[in-house]
Structure 1
Amino acid sequence: MTGGIATGIGSWPGTDPREAAATIIGELPALPHLVELPERGIGADMIGRVSALLVDLRFDSTTRGYRLGARPGAVSRRARDLLHADLDAIEEAWETAGLAGTGRVVKIQSAGPLTLAAEVELPGGHRILTDSGAVRDLSESLAEGLARHAAEIRKRLGAEVIVQLDEPQLTTVLDGALRGPSILNTIRALPEPDALHLLDTVITAQPGPVLLHTCAPRPALTTLGRTAAAAISFDAATITTADLDPLGEIVDAGKKIVLGLAPTTAPATPVTWRTVAEPGVRLIDRLGFPRRVLAEQVLVTPACGLAGAPLPWSRKALSLAVDAARAFAEDPDSIIVD
């Protein structure tokens, strides 16, 4: 996984997996990804689709979201059917593009163990996070299931696979800011060593590099940087002065950083690749690194997923990300910032 390339976060507007797969492969020549289409409903969103990946665990739906089920039900069957449709679609688009067996790289995504434990309930209504044994079982099931999923993609496409773990709830879990079923039920903060163990249980089980992503307003970079992940992904607009030291340590450690730079909605004023690239250049300058880091260790994405964006803008956002990444790779010193 080199720098100077662009990819998407994962989610995409619409409900047609074949159209989406063809679009993503066409728009992202360096690092396309398996598309997520949450508009299809239950079992297609970030949490529900994980039911198709877990080993010996599955989800049911509730009025609040998802819970662990005692046996395979409609939710897990639907999630598996949708995932199989997605795999068929990307395999078809991959072959049409002439990429089959070329060893090109593709990215797949899954919600991470902490976000799953925060979002999914036990059969009794409490979050999985309240039961340490259930959290352990969930992380181990996800680790094995995700490795199998990556192996199937590798076999189908003849491609190398990067795994992205999405952890939007990481900061909330570390802060102890989650609520239980009522105001009388508190959920304690998860100690960082426990969080790191759960994350690394999944990360180290994967045969290829893992990218750890969060769209949280406060991305908990210190914790992210301490994991075994090869790359850390976040919305560049969330970075504050307090984040500069841990971000610098991530870069010093040789990890890639994946900057969410392209807006997920069309701005009121016209935007160009330079508009998108400048905050990334400015960030590396603030960190005190030479700009060659932009070519060697930085990837570019939209700020977050694009499921809620109009299709024309979603295409534009990917195009802007690709152009900004190309500028980082070719001549970052020529990008003048205020």
Structure 2
Amino acid sequence: MSEAAVPVADVTGLADRRPSSVLWTGVGSWPGTDMGGAVRTAFAECPDLPYLPELPARGPGAQLVGRGAALMSGLAVDLQPAGWRLADAPNRDARQARSLLRQDLDDLEEVAQGYVGPVKVSVAGPWTLAAALERPRGDRVVADHGARRDVVQSLTEGIGALVDELRRRLPDVELVVQLDEPLLPAVLTGSLSTASGFSRHRSVDRPEVAEAYDALVAHLAATGPVGAAAVPVVVHCCAPGAPVRLLREVGVVGVALDLGRMGTGTWDEVGEGLAEGLWFGAGALPTDVAGPLPTPDAVATRVLARLDDLGLDAEAGLRTALTPACGLAGFEPAGALAALRVLRSAADIVTDRLLG
């Protein structure tokens, strides 16, 4: 596909779409350092739900926490040997993170000109960011109620500003915000280690976690011109124990999970959600194993077996989007491209089976 030949997707926004087929898409990271090429690939290979990739090979400022910190409004960070830290003023690394994000948006704008349909933009979720950032005097932000409140509010405002900017740049695009939350289960269960490594941080209460998501979803619903559709929020978590029911209760429209890390309880919550209109990103293509990629038939069979167990009707099953289990940055470029094509073929197989 040439850079100018971006297709018009024949779908409505993710939150309102009545599914006629199973979607497929990526979940974030991509190999290499060429963002323009990565965005073109995302639009060419995932035409019904393209996404803005993350290229961690460009350095800390382009990785999950660095990009998330670059979005925060009114809070500065700097990069230390132990990682990103709240600071009085941004240092060179923080400025570079903001510059990289700006370049990413420029690349997205260039590739997406003329495209009409949903586009997914992924950012670090509030609880992963609070669990990864350090306070100025050490240890994680999540350990301090006031500090984590500030980070959550700052990120919420920053994501809102990102949505506003992308609406100005790409008025025909229907944005979907994906929150990457690999550390959310650890925040809820109190399994995050302290800086010393000899103890664990106390768990954050579920009501406080829910309140942060409530505020973020409400803030995005209020962005944009009067009458504009609310921006749907999905949460991606590749760790076991994702709180699916909690996320449904706060207005998240979809969850994306690694199938290999889902227990029976999580599947039950996903099944309940699918029956009630939730979208489910099925991380059916493993990303942490060496060797050849699974075949489309193997990926499709893995998904269909679980959907059959849930006993859902076809419409509920069609609210599934096939994804890699996690990011594809650990792949070679050719392997990452092949992975998306496996998912595309597997999505066709799942669609045929559900409708047949």
TM more than 0.5: yes
Deviation by residue 1:160-180 (Cα, 9 ceiling, x = unmatched): 100000110011111101122
Counterpart CA distance in 1 for 2:289 and 2:148 is: 39
Instruction: After superposing the two structures, state which structure 1 stretch, 82-91 or 324-333, moved more.
Output: 324-333
SS in 1 for 2:252: coil
Counterpart code for 2:187:
V
Counterpart CA distance in 1 for 2:314 and 2:290 is: 27
Change (3 A) 1:74 1:326: same
Give the equivalent residue in structure 2 for 1:251. Answer: 274
Does the 8 Å CA contact 1:58/1:68 hold for their aligned counterparts? Answer: yes
Give the equivalent residue in structure 2 for 1:116. Answer: 129
Structure 1, unaligned runs of 5 or more: none
C-alpha displacement of 1:269: 5.4
Counterpart CA distance in 1 for 2:193 and 2:292 is: 39
Paired residues in the alignment total 328
Change (3 A) 1:90 1:150: same
Q: Specify which of 63, 68, 72 is matched with residue 54 of structure 1.
A: 72
C-alpha displacement of 1:136: 1.2
Counterpart CA distance in 1 for 2:314 and 2:235 is: 23
Give the equivalent residue in structure 2 for 1:22. Answer: 40
Counterpart CA distance in 2 for 1:326 and 1:41 is: 36
Give the equivalent residue in structure 1 for 2:343. Answer: 321
Does the 8 Å CA contact 2:275/2:316 hold for their aligned counterparts? Answer: no
Q: Specify which of 303, 317, 321 is matched with residue 299 of structure 1.
A: 321
Instruction: After superposing the two structures, state which structure 1 stretch, 302-311 or 235-244, moved more.
Output: 235-244
Counterpart CA distance in 2 for 1:186 and 1:11 is: 29
Counterpart code for 1:156:
R
Q: Specify which of 256, 262, 267 is matched with residue 285 of structure 2.
A: 262
C-alpha displacement of 1:235: 0.8
Q: Specify which of 120, 130, 139 is matched with residue 126 of structure 1.
A: 139
Q: Specify which of 84, 88, 97 is matched with residue 70 of structure 1.
A: 88
Counterpart code for 1:76:
A
Q: Specify which of 155, 163, 176 is matched with residue 177 of structure 2.
A: 163
Counterpart CA distance in 1 for 2:96 and 2:74 is: 16
SS in 1 for 2:62: coil
Give the equivalent residue in structure 2 for 1:204. Answer: 218
Give the equivalent residue in structure 2 for 1:141. Answer: 154
Change (3 A) 1:152 1:225: same
Counterpart CA distance in 2 for 1:107 and 1:58 is: 26
C-alpha displacement of 1:332: 2.1
Counterpart code for 2:29:
S
C-alpha displacement of 1:290: 2.3
Give the equivalent residue in structure 2 for 1:225. Answer: 248
Instruction: After superposing the two structures, state which structure 1 stretch, 150-159 or 105-114, moved more.
Output: 150-159
Deviation by residue 1:144-168 (Cα, 9 ceiling, x = unmatched): 1101112212221231100000110
Moved over 4 A (4+): 183-186
Does the 8 Å CA contact 2:79/2:94 hold for their aligned counterparts? Answer: no
Instruction: After superposing the two structures, state which structure 1 stretch, 69-78 or 307-316, moved more.
Output: 69-78
Counterpart code for 1:277:
A
Structure 2, unaligned runs of 5 or more: 1-13, 222-230
SS in 1 for 2:202: coil
SS in 2 for 1:324: helix
Instruction: After superposing the two structures, state which structure 1 stretch, 257-266 or 11-20, moved more.
Output: 257-266
Query: Percent of aligned pairs with the same residue?
Result: 37
Q: TM-score, normalised by structure 2?
A: 0.87
Counterpart CA distance in 2 for 1:118 and 1:191 is: 14
Give the equivalent residue in structure 1 for 2:111. Answer: 93
Counterpart CA distance in 1 for 2:348 and 2:273 is: 22
C-alpha displacement of 1:73: 2.0
How well do the aligned residues superpose, as a CA RMSD in angstroms?
1.9
Counterpart CA distance in 2 for 1:168 and 1:214 is: 5
Counterpart CA distance in 2 for 1:267 and 1:277 is: 20
Counterpart CA distance in 2 for 1:277 and 1:187 is: 40
C-alpha displacement of 1:69: 1.2
Deviation by residue 1:190-235 (Cα, 9 ceiling, x = unmatched): 1111111122222222241001110103333343333320001101
Deviation by residue 1:71-126 (Cα, 9 ceiling, x = unmatched): 1221221111101111111222223xx42xxx321110111111111110110002
Does the 8 Å CA contact 1:284/1:290 hold for their aligned counterparts? Answer: no
